[in-house]
Amino acid sequence: MSRAAIVGGGVIGGGWAARFLLNGWDVAVCDPAPGAEDRLKAVLANARRSLPSLYDRALPPEGRLTYCGTLAEAVTGADWVQESVPEQLDLKHRVLAEIEAHAPNAALIGSSTSGFTPTALQEGARRPARILVAHPFNPVYLLPLVEVVPSAATPSDLVARAMETLTSLGMKPLHVRHEIDAHIADRLLESVWREALWLIRDGICTTRELDDAIRYGFGLRWAQMGLFETYRIAGGEDGMAHFMGQFGPALAWPWSRLTDVPDFTPDLVELIAGQSDAQSGHRTIRELERLRDDNLVGILRALRKQGAAAGAVIAAHEATLPAPEPAPLPVTVARAIPQSWTDYNGHMNEAHYLELGAQATDRFMEMIGCDAAYIASGGSYFTVENHLRYLAELMAGDRVTVTTQVLDGAGKKLHLFHRIHGPEGTLAATMETLCLHMDLATRRSAPPPDRIGAALTAFAEAHAACPKPEGAGRHVGQRPRAAP
C-alpha cells in the first residue's frame, strides 16, 4: 500500500489528502492549527460526495487516514510528502528541513506553493533534487491540473516518477520546463485579477457582473479549449495567423491596465467585499463548495463523454481502475451515483436506473467479445425490450453494483437479467433486457459469429444452474412474490 504524508491540512492540503485517500493511498496528515481535523473532515465529506461521481467505475477502496501529532510521525514511511503550509519562504524552509530529517530517502517531496520556484525552496536542503513544486488547483480532489516544476538539480527520472504518480491519481501533470515565479496558470490568473480590480475600482462593473462575464462567456470556452485553440477557431478557415492579423494591432491600444496596480486601500477592499457579500452572502461556504463541486462534476462528465480536455484525463484514469471482483454472477457495473442523477424527490431519477442497466448490458457485450473493435467491424446487439422494477431508493454518492445473469443466449438472442444492488447489498432494482444481434451493414438481425456465440453459450450454460430470478418475465403492475 502506498503512503502519502500531507503537511498542512487546510483547503489545499485537505484536497491533496482526499485525492490520495480516495485513490487507495494510506494518508497521514499533520497540521497543528486549532480545528484542523474538523476542517479536513469537511473537505473529505465534499470529496467523497463528488469525486466518485466523475467515474462509471468504482474507485479503489479508501486508504487509511491517520492524524499525526508530529511531522516526524506523519512523514515516516511516506512515498510522497506534500507540503501545503502558508506562502512564507522561511516557514517552508523550516518545514522542508524537518521533512528531510525524517522522511525516507526515496520519498518525493512536493510543495503546493503557488509562487516560489523550486530553486528557492531547495535553499539549504540536504538533498535538493527530490524537492519540487507540485502546484494544484482548488478543489484538488476534482480539478486535474497540477503544475510540476523541477529545478536544474532535479534529475529527469525523479520528474518522470512524480508525473507518473500524479497521473495515477487521476491528475493532469503539466511539466513546467523553466522556473519562473508563480509558474504558468497563476501568472495568467494574476493578470485577470489585476484588471478585475481596476474594473471594480473604476465603477465599470460589480463583482457579480464581472463574474457573469466569465461564467456565461469565455469561461465556458476555456473549460474545454483553453485560450489559443479558442482563438484559432475565431480565425475561421484561415486559422490562427488570420486571427492574429485581425486582432494583433489591438495589443497596442490602451484597452487594459495590466502594467498598473490600483492602490490596495481599505476603501477598495470594503467595496469589493461588500459587493461579494451581496452577490453570495446568502449561502454558506459549504453550500458554495457543494454548488461548485456539483457544477464541476456536470462539466467534467460532459467533457469525459466527449473524451475532451479534462474529461480525457478522467477517462484515462478510469481505464486503470480495478475491475470488479469475480462473483457467481459477473459484476458488470461497480460505481458511485453522481449527484447529477438525482431529481426533485432527492433520489436517483428513474431514467438513470435504465442507464445503469444499459451500462451493464454494454459491459456484458464486451465480456463476450462484442467490443468497440467488433462493432466497428459491422456487428452489434440492439435492445428491443426492457422491463424495470424499482425496489429501493438510491441516493447521490451511493456505491452500487450490478450483476448480470444470462437467461437465453441461443441464436440471435441476448436475454439478460440485471440486479442493481445499493448500499449493503440492498436490491434496489432489476432490469430484464432482450437484445438481438444485428448486421450493421444491412441493419437487420443476424446470428453472431461463432466466437461470440460460443462465449455467450458458455455464460448461458454456467447460469442455467441458477434459479430463475424473481421478477423475470413479469408484466407491469404484477405484484411481486414474497421473498423466500
pLDDT, tens digit (0-9, with 9 covering 90-100), for 49-97: 999 999 999 999 999 999 999 999 999 999 999 999 999 999 999 999 9
Average pLDDT taken over every residue of the chain = 93
14 and 162 fall within a common domain:
yes
313/11 Cα distance (integer angstroms): 23
Q: Is the pLDDT of residue 402 over 50?
A: yes
The sign of the dihedral angle between the CA atoms of 18, 20, 26, 31 is negative
Per-residue pLDDT reduced to its tens digit, 302-330: 999 889 899 999 999 999 998 776 668 99
Residue 431 phi/psi, 5° resolution? -140, 120
Residue that finishes a domain, picked among 282, 305, 337: 282
244 and 179 share a domain? no
Using left for φ > 0, alpha for ψ between -120 and 50, and beta otherwise, residue 220 falls in: alpha
* Neighbouring-strand partners of residue 401: 334, 421
Between the alpha carbon of residue 131 and those of residues 27, 134, 302, 331, 409, the distances in Å are: 19, 9, 36, 43, 58
**225 domain-assigned:** yes
Which three cell numbers mark 260? 498598473
Domain shared by 12 and 129, yes or no: yes
Report if residue 209 sits inside a domain. Answer: yes
The whole-number pLDDT of residue 481 equals 64
CATH number, position 220: 1.10.1040.10
Q: Is there a single domain that holds both residue 95 and residue 157?
A: yes
Q: If you average pLDDT over residues 181-198, what whole number do you get? A: 95
Q: Give the pLDDT confidence score for residue 475 in this predicted structure.
A: 81
| 177 and 241 housed in the same domain | no
pLDDT attached to residue 225: 85
Give residue 483's pLDDT. Answer: 46
Give the model confidence (pLDDT) of 133-176 as tens digits: 999 999 999 999 999 999 999 999 999 999 999 999 999 999 99
Segment 290-305 mean pLDDT: 92
* CA–CA separation, 243 and 88 (whole Å): 42
- The owner of cell 471594480 is 200
**Same-domain status, 208 and 255:** yes
Strand partners, 413: 436
Last residue of some domain: 164, 183, 202?
183
- Residue 257: helix, strand or coil by DSSP? coil
| Phi and psi, residue 183, nearest 5° | 60, -135
Are 364 and 256 found together in one domain? no
Please count the residues of the chain: 484
CA pair distance 319, 301, nearest whole angstrom: 15
C-alpha distances out from residue 65 to 31, 286, 330, 448, Å: 14, 22, 32, 50
Quick one: pLDDT band at residue 484, thresholds 50, 70, 90?
Answer: very low
Residue 217 assigned to a binding site: no
The CATH number of the domain holding residue 32 is 3.40.50.720
Q: Can you give the CATH number for the domain in which 421 is found?
A: 3.10.129.10
**The last residue of a domain, from among 163, 183, 203:** 183
Cα 108 to Cα 118: distance, rounded to the nearest angstrom: 13
How far is residue 247's CA from residue 267's CA, in Å, rounded to a whole number? Answer: 36
Query: Does the residue 10 lie in any domain?
Result: yes
Burial code (b: 16+ CB inside 10 Å, e: under 16) for 442-466 equals: eeeeeebeeebbebbeebbeebeee
Whether residue 58 is found in the same domain as residue 177: yes
Quick count: other Cβ atoms within 10 Å of Cβ 261?
11
Question: For the chain, how many structural domains are there in total?
Answer: 3
pLDDT value for 159? 98
The rounded percent of the chain whose pLDDT value lies above 70 is 98
Residue that the C-alpha cell 444470462 belongs to = 406
d(CA 11, CA 352): 33
Mean pLDDT of 100-129: 97
Q: Residue 409: what are its φ and ψ, rounded to 5°? A: -135, 25
395-413 core/surface letters (b: 16 or more CB in 10 A; e: else): ebbbbbbbbbbbbebeeeb
Q: Is residue 23 part of a domain?
A: yes
What is the pLDDT averaged over residues 96-119?
98
Beta bridge partners of 438: 380, 445
Cβ-proximal residues to 193 (8 Å cutoff; 6+ apart), any chain: none
**Which pLDDT does position 40 carry in this prediction?**
96
In the numeric block, the cell 507540503 is attached to 83
Q: Provide the grid cell at 402.
A: 450490478
Is 420 labelled as part of a ligand binding site?
A: no
Separation CA 361–CA 347 (nearest Å): 23
From residue 46, alpha-carbon distances to 50, 200, 399 in Å are 6, 32, 16
Q: What backbone torsions phi and psi does residue 154 show, to the nearest 5 degrees? A: -90, 120
Span between the terminal Cα atoms of the chain, in Å = 41
Judged by average pLDDT, the poorest of 98-107, 112-121, 371-380, 462-471 is 462-471
Residue 355 reports pLDDT greater than 80: yes
Range of the domain at 216: 187-282
Cell of 241: 495567423
Asked if the structure places residue 472 within a domain, the reply is: no
174-183, 196-205, 259-268: range with lowest mean pLDDT = 259-268
Cα–Cα dist 283/277, whole Å: 10
Taking the CA atoms of the chain, what radius of gyration do you get in angstroms?
27
Asked if pLDDT for residue 249 goes beyond 60, the answer is: yes
The pLDDT score that the predictor gives to residue 231 is 84
SS3 235: coil
Residue 245 confidence (pLDDT): 82
Q: For residue 38, with 0-12 CB atoms within 10 Å meaning exposed, 13-18 middle and 19 or more buried, which class applies?
A: exposed
pTM attached to this predicted model: 0.85
Per-residue model confidence (pLDDT) at position 326 = 64
Least-confidence region, from 260-264, 312-316, 480-484? 480-484
Average pLDDT over residues 444-458: 96
- Is 445 in contact with 437 (CB distance < 8 Å)? yes
**Are residue 268 and residue 129 in the same domain, yes or no?**
no
CA gap 359, 335 in Å, rounded: 11
69 is in an annotated binding site: no
> Is 70 exceeded by the pLDDT of residue 480?
no
Cell numbers representing residue 378 in the block: 459491422
Tell me: is residue 13 an annotated ligand-binding position. yes
Say yes or no: 220 and 207 in one domain. yes
411 and 367, same domain (yes or no): yes
Domain membership of residue 66 (yes or no) is yes
Residues 75 and 112 in one domain: yes
Taking the CA of residue 217 as centre, how many other CA atoms within 13 Å lie in the half-sphere pointing to its CB?
7
Query: Is 90 exceeded by the pLDDT of residue 459?
Result: yes
Q: Per-residue pLDDT for 250 more than 80?
A: no
12 known ligand binder: yes
What pLDDT score was predicted for residue 234?
A: 83
309 assigned to some structural domain: no
Contacts of 191 (CB under 8 A, 6+ apart): 258
Whether 239 has a binding-site annotation, put simply, is no
Is residue 394 domain-resident? yes
